[in-house]
Structure 1
Amino acid sequence: MLSRVSRYRHCRLSRAGLALTTALFAAGCSGDMAPPGDLLAIEPSAPVILSEPVAPAMTSAPLAPAMFADVSDSAVPNSPDAPMQNVLAYPVSDGVDARQMTSALPESGGDQPIVTGIGTDNPQLVTASGYPSSSGSDGSLQNDRTENAQVQVAGLMPRVTDPMNAPQWAGGMPASEKACRNRLKRLGVTFRDLPAINSGKGCSIPYPIEVTELSGGIEIKPAAKLNCQITDAFAQWVKNELAPAARLRYLSGVSSIRQLSSYSCRTMNSKRGAPMSEHASGNAIDVGKITLNNGQAIAVRKPGFFSFREKSLLKTIRHDSCKYFTTVLGPGSDIHHKDHFHFDLRTRKAGYRHCD
C-alpha cells in the first residue's frame, strides 16, 4: 500500500514540474501562448530581397522630327538597350535629310553610309554630303568618291639618288668626278649631268655632262657633251687666257664660243682603220668661232696679212692653251684643222704634249 502511494505522489510531482516549466517558458515569450497545434501550422516566410536601383535611361542625340516620318510602320528601337544613336543601321523613309542623320552619329566625320529607298526598285547609297551615288548596271550600289580622289603613284616610282651625295658603292660618282664638278661650280660653269653614254666599243662617257655656259656668262653654242676633265681644263683656259687676251686686243669681252664638235663616236680625222678619236670619249672639243661682246666675230682660220690683231689673238690662243691641254691643233697643223682649234686631254707616255 505504501509503495502505491509513493508512485502516485511521484507522478503528480512530475506533472507539476512539467506544468511549471511550460509556464515559465510561456512567461518569457511576448504575446499569448499559442497552442502546440497552431505552432505546427505556422509556415516560414520567404526572405525579402532588396532590388537594385534601376539604371538611368540613355538620352538620345537630338534629331529632327522629319527624320522619323511614319515611325509607326518602322521597327526603330528606342530603349536603354537600343538607343536612338543606332538608328542609321536601319532603313529610312524617303525625304530624310541625310546630313541631319549623319550629324547625329557619335564621332561622326560626315562620311557614314546611309541607304534610302529600301524595299523599292531603286535603292541608293547617300553620301555624307547628302548626294546619292550612282548604281551599277547589276543594281549594286557604287560610290563615286574616286571621282575627285587623287591617285598616289609616288610609292611605285623608283627612288632617284643624287649621284653627287651617294657613295660610289651605292651607285654614286667616284670622288674624282665629284671633285671635278665642285671645281666647275667654283668657276661659274653652267652644266647638267647626263646619263652614261655607251655607243659601242671605244665610244662611251661614264659620267658625261652638258655644258651651256662658262665663267662670265660666255655661252657655248651649241651645248657641248663632254667629260668633266676636259670641261674643267677648257673653262680654266677661257677664264684665264682667252677672255683677258680678247679684252687686251679688242677692248671687249667674249660673248660666245662656237664649238664644232664635242662628243662624237668616230676615229681620228674620221679615217677608216684609224685609232678612235678623243671625241669618242668626250675628251676633246673643237672651237670654230669666237664672238665678242661688241658683236665682232673672229673665225679660226689663217688670218690675212694685215689682220694684225686677229693674228696676234690666234697666236696667243695656240701658245697659252698648251698649258691646259695635252693636244692643240689648228690652222697650219694639217688639212683637217684649217678652220678650227682642236683641244684634248689625250694621255701620252712621259707626259708628252703635242702643240702644233
Structure 2
Amino acid sequence: MARHPSSRPHLLKLSSLMAISLVLGSCSGSDVLAPPGELLSLERANPVIAPEPQPAFSYPVAVPMQSSGGGNLAEGQVAQPVVTGIGTDSPQLAGAAPDPVVITEPVDATPEAQKVGFLPRFSNPAQTPAWAGGMPAAEKACRQRLKRLGVRFRDIPAINPGRSCNIDYPIELTALSGGIEIKPAAKLNCQITEAFAQWVKNELAPSVRVRYVAGISSINQLSSYSCRTMNSVKGAAMSEHSHGNAIDVGKITLNSGTSISVRKPGFFAFREKNLLNTVRADSCKYFSTVLGPGSDVHHKDHFHFDLRQRKSGYRHCSL
C-alpha cells in the first residue's frame, strides 16, 4: 500500500525528535527516554563543590620571636609569624617562648598604704626603716643590746588604749640571761627591760649564788604594763606602769626549789635579810625609782623598779 505524500514531512519531524531524545538520554546516564512532550521541563543540576579541609593549627597574629642573629626583633605587632614544621603533624612557632609567670601580691586598700604604695614592703617591723614607718634607730639598738645580754623577748603590736596609757614599741619579756624565766611574761618598753636585765645579771644573780650557792630559776613579777594611776589611787598621777616603764618583783625561785619572797624578813632570817638589802641598794644604779618593804604600805610585799624621768635628774631610792 502506498503512503500518502503529505505524511512524509510528518515522519521526518517525528524522527528528528526521537534522535534528540536518544542523545539527551545518553548524556544524562539514564536508560529511560523521556517522552517528547516533557523535554522542555528538564533542568541541568548545579555542581556541588566540597569545602577544602582546614588546618588544625592556627597561627596567632602577634608572637614573641627572635631573629636568626640572636637579637630581639623590633617591638610591635608581627603580621607574619615564622613557623617551622609546615606539612608535618607538629608545626611550631620559631622562637616562641613560654608565657612568663606573673606573681601578684595582695593590695592593701587602706589610705595609708595607698600613700606609700611605691615603697618596698617589709615583713619585720624591726627591720623596717624609720622613714617607712618602722622603729627608730634607738629602739633597734636597744633590742640588739638585749640580744647580747641573752634576753628572750618578742615584739608585740603597739599598745595605745588611750592618751594616758601607751607603749609605742612594746616587747614581751620571757627570760633573762642564764635562762632565768619571767613568770608571767612581762609587757614592757625596751628601756626598762634592758635596765632590769642588767640588774639581774650584774647584781641579783651573783648575790644569790654567794649566799645560796644555787642559781636563779625564775622571777615572779607582780605587775608590768598596767593602765592605772600610782598605787591605783583615784585621782593620783598616772603610774609608770601605764607606759610599760616599770616592773614589780614579788618572788625569786632558786634552782634548788627555795623561794625567796620579797617582804620584810624575820628577825633571825639573816641570810635573806642581807640578800634583799644588798640587791635593793645596788638596784639604784640601774633605776630612777626603787621602792620595797618599809617604803610604804603599798610596797610591803614587792620591789618596784621604774625609769621615771625627773627634771632635776633625782633618783628616789627608798632603802
> Smaller-chain TM-score range?
0.5 to 0.7
Residues 18-54 of structure 1 deviation map (CA, whole Å, 9 limit, x = unaligned): xxxxxxxxxxxxxxxxxxxxxxxxxxxxxxxxxxxxx
2:189 is aligned, of 219, 227, 242, to 227
* 2:57–2:91 Cα contact (<8 Å) kept: no
Please name the residue that 1:206 is paired with: 168
Please name the residue that 2:28 is paired with: none
2:306 is aligned, of 324, 332, 344, to 344
2:276 is aligned, of 292, 310, 314, to 314
1:201-280 equivalent positions in 2, closer than 5 A = 201-280=163-242
TM-score (structure 1 length as normaliser)? 0.58
Please name the residue that 1:156 is paired with: 106
Residues 275-334 of structure 1 deviation map (CA, whole Å, 9 limit, x = unaligned): 000000000000000001111110001111111111111011110000000000000100
Please name the residue that 1:147 is paired with: none
Give, as a single letter, the amino acid of the residue that structure 1 aligns with 2:106: L
Residue 164 of structure 1 deviates from its aligned partner by 2.4
Residue 157 of structure 1 deviates from its aligned partner by 5.8
Within the alignment, does 1:323 sit opposite 2:285 as a pair? Answer: yes
Please name the residue that 2:244 is paired with: 282
* 2:122–2:128 Cα contact (<8 Å) kept: no
d(CA) in 1 for partners of 2:191, 2:254:
26
Secondary structure of the residue aligned to 1:350 is coil
Structure 2 CA distance for partners of 1:165 and 1:311, relative to 1, 3 Å: same
Moved over 6 A (4+): none
d(CA) in 2 for partners of 1:260, 1:220:
10
d(CA) in 2 for partners of 1:77, 1:313:
105
Within the alignment, does 1:192 sit opposite 2:154 as a pair? Answer: yes
Residue 77 of structure 1 deviates from its aligned partner by 5.8
Structure 2 CA distance for partners of 1:317 and 1:153, relative to 1, 3 Å: farther
Structure 2 CA distance for partners of 1:281 and 1:153, relative to 1, 3 Å: farther
Residue 349 of structure 1 deviates from its aligned partner by 2.4
Please identify the structure whose Cα radius of gyration is greater: 1
Give, as a single letter, the amino acid of the residue that structure 2 aligns with 1:178: K
* 2:291–2:304 Cα contact (<8 Å) kept: yes
d(CA) in 1 for partners of 2:157, 2:264:
38
Please name the residue that 1:52 is paired with: none
Residue 354 of structure 1 deviates from its aligned partner by 0.5
Structure 2 CA distance for partners of 1:153 and 1:299, relative to 1, 3 Å: farther
d(CA) in 2 for partners of 1:222, 1:153:
43
Residues 61-110 of structure 1 deviation map (CA, whole Å, 9 limit, x = unaligned): xxxxxxxxxxxxxx9966xxx55x549xxxxxxxxxxxxxxxx65569xx
Within the alignment, does 1:180 sit opposite 2:142 as a pair? Answer: yes
Structure 2 CA distance for partners of 1:251 and 1:168, relative to 1, 3 Å: same
Please name the residue that 2:44 is paired with: none
Give, as a single letter, the amino acid of the residue that structure 1 aligns with 2:274: S
d(CA) in 2 for partners of 1:107, 1:333:
90
Please name the residue that 1:355 is paired with: 317
Identify unmatched segments of 5+ residues in structure 2: 1-49, 59-88, 94-101, 109-120
Please name the residue that 1:297 is paired with: 259
TM-score (structure 2 length as normaliser)? 0.65
Within the alignment, does 1:335 sit opposite 2:276 as a pair? Answer: no
d(CA) in 2 for partners of 1:293, 1:193:
29
d(CA) in 2 for partners of 1:222, 1:166:
29
Residues 1-29 of structure 1 deviation map (CA, whole Å, 9 limit, x = unaligned): xxxxxxxxxxxxxxxxxxxxxxxxxxxxx
Higher relative contact order (CA closer than 8 Å, sequence separation 6+): 2
d(CA) in 2 for partners of 1:86, 1:287:
81
Give, as a single letter, the amino acid of the residue that structure 2 aligns with 1:156: P
d(CA) in 2 for partners of 1:105, 1:253:
79
d(CA) in 2 for partners of 1:279, 1:154:
44
Residue 167 of structure 1 deviates from its aligned partner by 2.1
Structure 2 CA distance for partners of 1:154 and 1:321, relative to 1, 3 Å: farther
Greater CA deviation, 279-288 or 198-207?
198-207
User: What is the percentage of aligned positions where both structures have the same residue?
Assistant: 71
